[in-house]
Amino acid sequence: MKITPNRSNRFKDWLLGLVPYCRPDMPKKILSRYLLPIALTVWLIPQIFAASPFEKALTLVDQGNYTQAARSLEDLLKKEPTHPEKQAIHHVLGYCYEKGKKWAKGIEHYTLALSATYPLADYAISHIAKSYVQMKDNQNAIVWYQRLIDEHPQSFHFASAKYELGKVQY
């Protein structure tokens, strides 16, 4: 004997299978188990992954807004950052002031970023020397180019420092 399914009830069975049985306390459970965690997640994720003030300042630098970036970084320095953070802030501040053609302030911040352990010391020294050239202070430019050549012979900036040193001296 062949059993044929009742076609009129198949749709009803399928539809009821999609909708779970709803008890009177079900809305509270749905709220506490599903909706509340989703709402908290949606609210917390943007706050967890929000950019730090330093990253926001770097974004301003990328956009070419050097004066606003410099203001943000100066505010960050007032909050007593750790030593490596302070070096990075001074380095980026030096870059911002250099781009704004405020050579003396750029030199000041590049100098504050320098230390024996600073990984971008060669870059900072190179830009200090270039800033002195822009200020037409060839004596200090010579001193800084020579320091770059002496202290960082493996630097990417070594060849350009030798070339610029030759130009400034003669």
- Average pLDDT for 116-142: 94
Q: How many residues does the chain have?
A: 170
Q: Where do the structural domains in the chain lie, given as residue ranges? A: 34-102, 120-170
DSSP state of 101: T
Q: Amino acid letter at 153?
A: P
Residue with tokens 């459970």: 29
Q: Tell the burial category of 104 from Cβ atoms under 10 Å away from its Cβ (0-12, 13-18, 19+).
A: exposed
pLDDT given at position 115: 87
Picking from 62, 96, 55, 97, the residue whose alpha carbon sits closest to that of residue 76 is 55
- Average pLDDT for 154-170: 91
pTM of model > 0.75: no
- Average pLDDT for 114-120: 88
Instruction: Say how far apart CA 26 and CA 72 lie, in whole Å.
Output: 51
H-run or E-run covering 12: helix 7-18
Region of residue 43 (phi > 0: left; psi between -120 and 50: alpha; otherwise: beta): alpha
pLDDT given at position 41: 66
pLDDT given at position 10: 56
Query: What does the mean pLDDT of the chain come to?
Result: 82
| 27 or 98, greater pLDDT | 98
pLDDT given at position 33: 61
pLDDT above 70 covers a percentage of the chain that reads 71
Decide: 150 and 129 in contact? Cβ < 8 Å: no
pLDDT given at position 17: 54
pLDDT given at position 31: 53
The pLDDT-based confidence of 8 (bands split at 50, 70, 90) is low
- Reply yes or no on whether the pLDDT at 39 is more than 90: no
pLDDT given at position 50: 58
pLDDT above 90 covers a percentage of the chain that reads 56
DSSP state of 51: P
The full DSSP string for 98-166 is HHTT-HHHHHHHHHHH--TT-TTHHHHHHHHHHHHHHTT-HHHHHHHHHHHHHH-TT-TTHHHHHHHHH
Residue with tokens 């270039």: 130
The tokens of 5 are what? 């399914």
